[in-house]
Amino acid sequence: MNPRPPLPPRRRAGSLRIPSIYVGFGLTWVLLSALWRQGGSFRVDRDALVLTLFVLLSAAVLHLLLRRDEARDEVRHRTLPGPTREDADAALVEALSTARERALLNDAAVASSANGIAILDASGNVVQANAACAAMLRRDAGTLVGLHLESLMEPEPDSAEPGSDLAATPSRREFVVRQGATEVHIHMTCSPIPGPDGTLACTVAVLEDLSERHRQEERIAHLARYDLLTDLPNRQLFIEQARGAIARADRASLQVGILFLDLDHFKHINDSLGHAVGDSVLRATSARLAAQLRPGDVIARFGGDEFVVLLSSIHDSAEAGALAKRLLAVHEEPIAAGGILHHVGVSVGIALFPDDGRDLDDLLQHADLAMYRAKADGRQTMHFFHRHMDELAVRRGSIERALHSALAHDEFRVVFQPQLRLSDGALIGAEALIRWHSRELGEVSPSEFIPVAESLGLIRPVGVQVLSRAARQAAHWDEDGLADLRIAVNLSMAQFRSHDLATELAATVAAAGRSATRVELEITESMLAEDADRAARSLRTLHASGFELAIDDFGTGYSSMFALQRYPLARLKIDRSFVRDVESHASSATIVRATVELAHALGLSVLAEGVETEAQEHFLRDVGCDEVQGFRYARALEVPAFEAWAKRYQARHPGASLVLPEIG
Ligand code: C2E
Ligand code: MG
Ligand code: MG
């Protein structure tokens, strides 16, 4: 606090009053005695009387003036004892200059404030505004004066206290100022200032720019509802929109289409070319898919390479089918990424409200099932949901549950199917094939449970168990002198992908007491297609560990003979679908003949699978096929049955037919 300025010293009371009375009486006395001396008597003429009265009056006035000053001093000194008048004047001057400095400082502070500050009159019109305020309102500071502040902004829709008189009451509200595409979001606090009489003198409005915070909030809200990579709606937003569309379609008796999309072989792109290329393929594909939609339809990314389309109101299934065809056509236009052109195919499953489900969860699940069916149909195709798919899904669920305990309960067995050399009919090998008798489900075919075991991640221990049992059995037959059989074991995709595969398999075979050189591993063309370089490395490691390598189901995939040269293969196993048709389809016969010729040219031997008839055997012999396997000779047999069959087969005299009657 500033010290109080010193006051002028106090005058002594009555110091002038007494002399002034004496002067008055003295003057009167001098006048009267002068009159007396003039005539020896009192002659009161008019002039003398006037003069006397004037003198008396002057004395009285002088007295009163002096009395008033004294009274003032008295009052001042009774309240603030001490300083003199000069001191008070000096203090006043100093106070004024301090106040001026303060006012200048205040003005500077207001002018440089980052917040907008405006002073409003009682009607809410701008009297004064700083530069920040003008900038927020997108105006020049000079043009603001006289304008009604509220007329320059729009209230935010959810701002509190709509319609209250800003200038008159303390308030906090949010506004937006629009200029073209830009928006300034403002938080305004109004503080009314009352005058001396208690009425409103002015209002101070403080404006804070919330635009950056708004942008951040909007970004967070966007991220919560849109996919980061493709900027398509995410699952959560899709679910909200689809539920709304279903409710509307229900009222209008319309249908809603849910299309489940999965890109074909996308994993291959991601694994072989890296995630950056995978991401750019995903972005480009999603943009192309989105471009096929009608206005109002929605495409969302559900994760990975899965997309879901919502057709909000359709009249029949043909409309959904037509759109699905357009989506399938994105395959035709290649996408350039990672220096390669990719033809990205898509498999589409379709479910319709209300026929295929009345709630969204059912519809999504059914569209997903239909999509899996499209994949199984060879990909790059579409499938509508049918009720029987539900049964398939239920069956798959039961298999999944039963598989979990199958290993622990030792429910798997291995059976053996003989392999014969065509030239001399010798029994040269056996393919080990898994069998599963589930406690709950009974006998389940490997074609049905192996893909499920694969998707559950159970195939690796299962595969090792098959190899171990097959190798142990073969070692036992070696010792027994039954036959020196090459044992063929199937590898699954998941096994083939594991990096320490060769070590694991070599250890398994060694532990079983068999040489890896008498074990053949069967892989399919699709395993090679996934990542050709990695596949080549894996095959070379397996080969170096001593294993023989064969391509199973040859002809159903897309491997070229040229590509096969780079792999250390021993054999091609021609798929039984070609063998089955060699008599009826000229093309199958041509394929089998060409395969044998080219394989031989590459130094590979050829085994024909699924030989069932004599005619097939003749054909294969004619084209120079090396080995055969099929029901014509024997089915896959349990160990005792296989041993009995092998003994009888080897006991037949040389040159006899390769066929033995089935064992009962
Ligand atoms: P695959 O490896 O091509 O096995 C040959 C399949 O064809 C076997 O079916 C066999 O019983 C059947 N087959 C053989 N000759 C004939 C014939 O003349 N006519 C007909 N119609 N079929 C014949 P299976 O045992 O049902 O196996 C089916 C598939 O399951 C196998 O095809 C193989 O891909 C897979 N698989 C079987 N065992 C295993 C295993 O231990 N591990 C793995 N990863 N897959 C296995
Ligand atoms: Mg096989
Ligand atoms: Mg096969």
HEC sequence for 231-243? CCECHHHHHHHHH
Q: Convert the pLDDT of each residue in 272-322 to its tens digit.
A: 788 999 999 999 999 999 999 999 999 999 999 999 999 998 999 999 999
Q: What is the mean pLDDT of residues 20-25?
A: 60
Which pLDDT score, from 0 to 100, does residue 2 have?
42
Contacting residues for 532 by C-beta, under 8 A, at least 6 apart = 272, 563
Centre of ligand 3 to C-alpha 45, Å, is 162
Q: Which residues line ligand 1 (CB under 6 A)?
A: 417, 433-434, 445-447, 450, 463, 466, 490-492, 522, 552-553, 576, 609-610, 612, 629-631, 636
Q: Count Cβ neighbours within 10 Å for each residue of 354-391 and write b for 16 or more, e otherwise.
A: eebbeebebbbbbbbbbbbbbeeeeebbbbbbeeebbe
Q: Tokens for 181?
A: 């595409």
Crossing angle (nearest 10°) for helices 446-455 and 459-480 = 130
In the structure, ligand 3 is a single-atom ion and the residues with CB under 5 Å from it are: 552-553, 609
Ligand nearest to the CA of 488: 2
In terms of Cα–Cα distance, which of 171, 137, 174 is closest to 158? 174
Centre of ligand 2 to C-alpha 18, Å, is 142
How many Å apart are CA 569 and CA 527, to the nearest integer? 14
How many Å apart are CA 216 and CA 12, to the nearest integer? 76
Contact 172, 189 (CB under 8 A): yes
Q: Convert the pLDDT of each residue in 181-202 to its tens digit.
A: 888 999 999 999 988 888 888 9
DSSP 377: T
In terms of Cα–Cα distance, which of 192, 190, 214 is closest to 202? 192
Residue nearest to atom 11 of ligand 1 (CA): 636
| 444 strand-pairing partners | 436
In terms of Cα–Cα distance, which of 439, 442, 462 is closest to 452? 462
In terms of Cα–Cα distance, which of 635, 633, 661, 614 is closest to 427? 633
Q: Convert the pLDDT of each residue in 574-606 to its tens digit.
A: 999 999 999 998 889 999 999 999 999 999 999
Question: What Å distances lie between residue 360 and 238, 263, 310, 367, 390, CA to CA?
Answer: 10, 22, 11, 10, 16
How many Å apart are CA 346 and CA 325, to the nearest integer? 10
Residue nearest to atom 19 of ligand 1 (CA): 610
Q: Convert the pLDDT of each residue in 561-570 to its tens digit.
A: 667 888 999 9
How many Å apart are CA 407 and CA 465, to the nearest integer? 9
Residue 43 pLDDT greater than 60, yes or no? no
Q: Residue 125's CB: how many other CB atoms inside 10 A? A: 17
Which pLDDT score, from 0 to 100, does residue 1 have?
37
Ligand nearest to the CA of 520: 2
Contact 263, 230 (CB under 8 A): no
pLDDT top residue among 132 and 88: 132
Ligand nearest to the CA of 466: 1
Residue nearest to atom 13 of ligand 1 (CA): 610
How many Å apart are CA 547 and CA 524, to the nearest integer? 16
Q: Lowest-pLDDT range, 59-68, 231-240, 320-329, 334-343?
A: 59-68
Which helix H or strand E contains 47, and what residues bound it? helix 46-79
Q: Convert the pLDDT of each residue in 446-501 to its tens digit.
A: 999 998 999 899 999 999 999 999 999 999 999 999 988 999 999 998 899 888 89
Q: Identify the three-state secondary structure at position 320.
A: helix
Confidence bin at 270 (pLDDT 50/70/90): confident
Percent of the chain residues past pLDDT 70, beyond the cut: 87
Q: What is the mean pLDDT of residues 538-554?
A: 96
Residue nearest to atom 29 of ligand 1 (CA): 447
Which pLDDT score, from 0 to 100, does residue 79 have?
56
Ligand 1 nearest-atom number relative to CA 575: 3
Pocket test for ligand 1, best of 414, 456, 490 (most atoms within 8 A of CB): 490
Confidence bin at 656 (pLDDT 50/70/90): confident
How many Å apart are CA 285 and CA 287, to the nearest integer? 5
Centre of ligand 1 to C-alpha 431, Å, is 9
pLDDT top residue among 305 and 379: 305
- Phi and psi (nearest 5°) for 357? 160, 145
Q: Residue 1's CB: how many other CB atoms inside 10 A? A: 3
Ligand 1 nearest-atom number relative to CA 447: 30
**One-letter amino acid for residue 605 of the chain:** S
Contact 462, 451 (CB under 8 A): no
Q: Residue 548's CB: how many other CB atoms inside 10 A? A: 21
- Phi and psi (nearest 5°) for 7? -90, 155
The pTM assigned to this predicted structure is: 0.57
Residue 434 pLDDT greater than 80, yes or no? yes
How many Å apart are CA 158 and CA 173, to the nearest integer? 10
How many Å apart are CA 616 and CA 618, to the nearest integer? 5
Ligand 1 nearest-atom number relative to CA 492: 44
Residue nearest to atom 24 of ligand 1 (CA): 446
Can you list the positions of beta strands (E) in 48-199? 116-120, 126-129, 154-155, 171-179, 182-194
The three-point CA angle 71-76-82 to 5° equals 125
Centre of ligand 1 to C-alpha 401, Å, is 23
Centre of ligand 3 to C-alpha 431, Å, is 10
Question: What Å distances lie between residue 233 and 228, 309, 349, 477, CA to CA?
Answer: 9, 10, 19, 62
Confidence bin at 156 (pLDDT 50/70/90): confident
Residue 400 pLDDT greater than 60, yes or no? yes
Dihedral over alpha carbons 527, 528, 532, 535 (to 10 degrees): 70
Centre of ligand 1 to C-alpha 445, Å, is 9
Centre of ligand 1 to C-alpha 635, Å, is 10
Centre of ligand 2 to C-alpha 488, Å, is 8
Q: What is the mean pLDDT of residues 523-542?
A: 86
The CATH H-level (homologous superfamily) assignment of domain 226-386 is Reverse transcriptase/Diguanylate cyclase domain (3.30.70.270)
445: left (phi over 0), alpha (psi -120 to 50) or beta: beta
Can you list the positions of beta strands (E) in 376-518? 382-384, 412-421, 427-438, 442-444, 486-490
How many Å apart are CA 487 and CA 514, to the nearest integer? 10
Pocket test for ligand 1, best of 414, 433, 551 (most atoms within 8 A of CB): 433
Q: Residue 650's CB: how many other CB atoms inside 10 A? A: 12
* Record: fold of 114-216: Beta-Lactamase (3.30.450)
Question: What Å distances lie between residue 528 and 498, 546, 551, 560, 564, CA to CA?
Answer: 14, 20, 9, 11, 9
Tokens 């829709």 locate to 157
Which pLDDT score, from 0 to 100, does residue 91 have?
86
Q: Tokens for 109?
A: 């502070």
DSSP 459: H
The verdict on domain 411-642 having CATH code 1.25.40.10 is no
Centre of ligand 2 to C-alpha 473, Å, is 18
Q: Lowest-pLDDT range, 18-22, 631-635, 657-661?
A: 18-22
To the nearest whole number, what is the mean pLDDT of the chain?
87
